[in-house]
Structure 1
Amino acid sequence: MRLSDPVALRGYAHPLRMALIGLLRREGPMTATRAAERLGENVPNCSFHLRQLAKYGLAERAPAGDARERPWRATAFVTSWDDASDDPQVRAATDALNTTQLAQYTRQAEEFLARRADESTRWRAVTRFSDTSLYVTADELAALTERMDALLAEYDGRIADPSSRPADARRVTLVQLALLGAPAATDGDTAPGDGGATQGDSDTAVPDGR
């Protein structure tokens, strides 16, 4: 699902709506009542936001085995949007959406860190925070992103088909942030925080995500 309309972009830029879509993608069709239970929200609130998601094409009614139930499902496994638009309205809307998404990532990381001590050493060793500074052109960064996307796509089948997952598999979110350094930076200069931890240096963890 690719969003391009500013109204739809702003409509999706809501923490509960993002959480609802993530829940439907992870666990499949469910009613607003069940979604409210899973997210710790009230039912009327979830019902309202599910209807709004349907308005923007992100959710729809799913077939129900029981006439009393009215489940919802996500219309797609992935939502994307154009961050390179020159349209001021689209740029403002995507900025709002990206800000909401970043807040979601931060919340998920904080929740994981709060329970990190309960995880096994095996999982703590392979989930972490890290950052690396690169000097690349825009075309090289685009090519690198495509290569990473292709690698991750090898596991897409396990999203739709739970039976294809190994017995010990867990849901993991890999967050990709490509952040430009200040234009005045020169070779040899490193902005505070850049390259602070390379892969393998950090013993902290990234949480199970959306």
Structure 2
Amino acid sequence: MTSEERRTIRLDDPRALRAYAHPLRLSLIGMLRRNGPMTATQCAAVLDENVPNCSFHLRQLAKYGLAQRAPAADGRERPWQATARSTSWTDDSDDPETRLAADQLNAAILRQYVRRAEAYLAIRAQEPVEWRTAAGFSDDMIYVTAEQLVTLTEQVESLLEPYRDKTARAAESRPVTVVQLAIPTPEDGSP
């Protein structure tokens, strides 16, 4: 990605947040970010979708500044690319419509992570032992203030940063999704 594509795009408009919350759009942007420019036909093949559906959703992503046309090798190809390496949005808006849209987006992303974790568990037994040992789930209970949690999140981001560059990766490396959930929990442990 160029330096322009490495930036984070921020969504504050409730319409953009709801538009991004569509499962296929989240998958499309994820693929474009991982794989670089792809045509709607290529996206459809990987996602087991139909081409017109992928085309429509890529155009919707472009409408909200999340995707754009990429230069084509020839006049027939019509590839798309992500406009940014990541997307951020407001979770602290005073506007009820924006808060609701952000919650809908967060829920859609959580559902995608759960599906991805379930898909991994389905094939985990076929993974080499070193990957079965390295990958997995854990949780921990910590006691922090809101300010300390912000600092902790920033520290985690800093720890992950060196591993984001695909060009600097080791030959035996592979993509790994790291999911962070920081959820205030009732003191008594109730759900």
Shorter chain as denominator, the TM-score bin is over 0.9
Residue aligning to 1:83: 91
1:179 to 2:179 alignment:
no
**Aligned match of 2:54 in 46, 50, 59?**
46
- Secondary structure of 1:99's aligned partner: helix
1:11 to 2:15 alignment:
no
How far apart are the structure 2 equivalents of 1:170 and 1:118? 16
Residue aligning to 2:143: 135
Q: Percent same amino acid at aligned positions?
A: 60
- Secondary structure of 1:79's aligned partner: strand
Unaligned runs of 5+ in 2: 1-8
- Secondary structure of 2:68's aligned partner: strand
**Aligned match of 2:79 in 71, 88, 108?**
71
Unaligned runs of 5+ in 1: 194-210
Residue aligning to 2:36: 28
Residue aligning to 1:97: 105
Indicate the structure with greater helix content: 2
Letter in 2 for 1:128: G
Give CA-to-partner distance per residue, 1:17-67, whole Å, 9 cap, x none. Answer: 000000011111011001000110000000000000000000000000111
State the Cα RMSD in Å.
Answer: 1.1
What is the deviation of 1:135?
Answer: 1.0
How far apart are the structure 2 equivalents of 1:143 and 1:165? 27
1:148 to 2:156 alignment:
yes
1:59 to 2:67 alignment:
yes
Residue aligning to 1:170: 174
How far apart are the structure 2 equivalents of 1:19 and 1:79? 13
Give CA-to-partner distance per residue, 1:65-117, whole Å, 9 cap, x none. Answer: 11111000000110111111121111010011011001000100111111011
How far apart are the structure 2 equivalents of 1:70 and 1:7? 26
What is the deviation of 1:154?
Answer: 1.8
How far apart are the structure 1 equivalents of 2:135 and 2:91? 28
Taking structure 1 as the reference length, the TM-score comes to 0.85
Give CA-to-partner distance per residue, 1:1-25, whole Å, 9 cap, x none. Answer: 1111111001101000000000011
What is the deviation of 1:192?
Answer: 5.5
How far apart are the structure 2 equivalents of 1:86 and 1:154? 35
How far apart are the structure 2 equivalents of 1:35 and 1:157? 22
Higher-Rg structure is: 1
**Aligned match of 1:120 in 119, 128, 132?**
128
How far apart are the structure 1 equivalents of 2:175 and 2:143? 32
Letter in 2 for 1:71: P
